[in-house]
Amino acid sequence: MSLLATLYMAVSPSPSPISAPVEPLNAVQKMCGMTDPAATPTDAQAKCVADAALSGDSIWIVIIKAVIVLVFLLVSVLFAVWFERRVIGRLQRRPGPNVHGPFGLFQSIQDALKLVFKEDITVRAAEKLVYIAAPIISVFCALLIFAVIPFGPATRIPFTQEITPLQLTDFPVAVLYILACASIGVYGIVLGGWASGSTYPLMGAVRSTAQVISYELAMGLSLVTVFMMAGSMSTSTIVDSQANRWWVLPLLPAFVLYIISMIGETNRLPFDLPEAEGELVAGFMTEYSSTKFAWYFLAEYMNMINVSAVAATLFLGGWRAPWGATWPGADVLNSGIFPPIWLLIKIWLIMFVFVWIRGSVLRFRYDQFMKFGWKVLIPVGLAWLGFFAISRQAFESWGRNMRLFDAVAGLVAILLVVAFWSFMSDSKTQKDEELEREPEVLDAFAGGYPVPPLPHQVLPPSPRSGRTVEARVAASADARADATDGTVPDNAGEAGDE
């Protein structure tokens, strides 16, 4: 057999080597003058491509980008305040701000000026340094997050030869950087509540600490599957991985989990327990006024915009158009001025969800809030992560179509959650029905030492029950009713004597 095989190999024509597929030119290479993807670029073209990366930005471009991000956030906060009041007004069948400026757009500017010119009061019992630094910490951490949000691909700056990505910076663990900045921002709330030297702010600060621990765990679990799909934690890489499909479709349970967690992370209704005005006056902000209060106000709305931008980047394709990169017209709509427009549209759609929930859902009780975080969101996040990882690995091992898995995985997970929730609701209903049966009378002193009753037990009536004010009033009312009917009860005289 070996001789025949040798003869066959000798007379058989040698197979031609298979050349590796040539990748098409990307937008940066085209802007640098490259026309043939198989040709070796010249030194000038190679330098142009290298300089188009973030590492090739000069210090002046970095400063300009930082200023643009700062201005964008400040203007967005002013617009967000007007947007929220306007949408809630429509939800409540009233016009909202409509006097100052066209459509009331100048109302936010007047509110900001009012806060700046109000009297600034500092509490005598406050820790002065920490009391002043706390709101600044919150704003500073809110400003850091947008540094890694990509607004678009590499673009040529008008009237220059400079090519730079529409992003301030990026690195392999950019999403972990976002979570770290959000966690550090809570220090501003905690320190502000502690340094105020008052009870209500301290209670709001403690609530905020428990809240960020609970809901950041759920938020982190919702993002793990995004890393598995994209193969990276870099925000620009995650956006590039969504060139043909957004991750919101195969990762729909993770997206819903993130939306709920981001509302709890930003202390917004129905999760604004650290500043619940019905319980804590204003929570951690009770002792703040004027500019220091405005800092907290600014940080809250900046965080809303931040988490909306993160959701748009990780799940909704970021700056990419709402169709695949292979569709007609995708190259035009994913270049030039269009990418920032797509990102802004997605951000404000998520901001509308924020406002819609605030105008529709009542505030949770604190025990409901913590139970929802620890007993619902975190178990659901762990279950989704395990289901997705195991089933995806199984599909890959069996050689199945991964596109089919990505299409149905989210739907199957949601159906499983609904089925489990229905099962738990039925079990709770059955348990409540069992508890509604006739309670058992407990002799608390039967064992020689008093014990409290269990949920299905009640204590016998107290021998002093007839001596209470309520019992006397009830006896007097019965006596008057009997006297009206012309009958005198046996204990009427006793009740009157008492």
- Given a cut of 80, whether residue 252 has pLDDT beyond it is yes
Rounded distance between C-alpha atoms, residue 184 and residue 214, angstroms: 15
Closest Cα partner for 342 from 311, 328, 321, 317? 321
Are 131 and 192 contacting, i.e. CB atoms less than 8 angstroms apart?
A: yes
Spell 9-37 as b/e; 16+ CB within 10 A means b.
Answer: eeeeeeeeeeeeeeeeeebbbebbebeee
Q: Residue 486's pLDDT is what?
A: 60
DSSP 3-70: HHHHHHHHHSPPPPPPPPPPPPP-HHHHHTT---TTSPPPHHHHHHHHHTSGGG--HHHHHHHHHHHH
Instruction: Specify the pLDDT at position 11.
Output: 35
Backbone angles phi, psi at 323, to 5 degrees: -145, 170
- Check residues 427 and 345 and name the one with the higher pLDDT: 345
Lowest-confidence segment of 152-161, 169-178, 188-197, 395-404 by average pLDDT: 395-404
Task: Give the pLDDT band of residue 278 (cuts 50, 70, 90).
Answer: low
* Mean pLDDT score across all residues of the chain: 79
Residue appearing with tokens 């900045």: 181
**Which pTM value belongs to this model?**
0.74
Asked if 204 and 134 touch (Cβ cutoff 8 Å), the reply is no
Express each pLDDT in 392-418 by its tens digit. 788 777 776 666 666 666 677 677 667
Tokens representing 71 are 């201005």
155 beta partners = 164
In DSSP terms, 166 is beta-bridged to 152
**H or E stretch covering 114:** helix 107-117
Task: Look up residue 413 and give its DSSP letter.
Answer: H
Mean local confidence (pLDDT), 1-12: 38
Q: Which residues contact 358 (CB under 8 A, 6 or more apart)?
A: 84, 88, 268, 269, 270
Torsion angles phi and psi, residue 441, rounded to 5 = -80, 125
Identity of the highest mean pLDDT range in 6-10, 206-210, 345-349, 436-440: 345-349
Residue 5 burial class via C-beta count within 10 angstroms: exposed 0-12, middle 13-18, buried 19 and up: exposed
For residue range 61-86, list pLDDT tens digits in order: 889 999 999 999 999 999 999 999 99
**Cα angle 312, 269, 261; round to 5:** 45
The predicted pLDDT at position 435 comes to 59
Flag whether pLDDT at 43 surpasses 90. Answer: no
Any bridge partners for residue 154, and if so which?
165
pLDDT at 498: 44
- In the chain, the percentage of residues whose pLDDT exceeds 90 is 20
- Note the pLDDT of residue 493: 46
Is residue 216's pLDDT more than 70? Answer: yes
Q: How do residues 358-386 score in pLDDT, each as one tens digit?
A: 888 888 888 888 888 888 889 888 988 88
pLDDT of residue 271: 81
Other beta carbons within 10 Å of 472: 13
Q: Is the pLDDT of residue 434 over 70?
A: no
For residue 270, say if its preceding peptide bond is cis, omega within 30 degrees of 0.
yes
Q: Which residues pair with 152 in a beta bridge?
A: 166
The answer to whether 337 touches 221, Cβ cutoff 8 Å, is no
Question: Would you state the structure tokens that stand for residue 85, as one six-digit string?
Answer: 């009041």
Task: For 359-485, list the strands marked E by DSSP.
Answer: 440-441, 457-458
For 117-142, how does the pLDDT look when each residue is reduced to its tens digit (9 = 90+)? 888 787 887 888 888 888 999 999 99
* Angle at which helices 199-230 and 378-398 cross, to 10°: 10
Tell me if residue 152 falls in helix, strand or coil: strand
If phi over 0 gives left and psi between -120 and 50 gives alpha, with beta otherwise, what is residue 190? alpha
Token pair of 168, please? 């301030």
How does residue 345 score in pLDDT terms, banded at 50, 70 and 90? very high
pLDDT-based confidence at 238, cuts 50/70/90? Answer: very high
- Higher model confidence: residue 124 or residue 45? 124
Q: What is the pLDDT of residue 332?
A: 84
- For residue 280, the model assigns a pLDDT of 66
Residue 42 has a pLDDT of 65
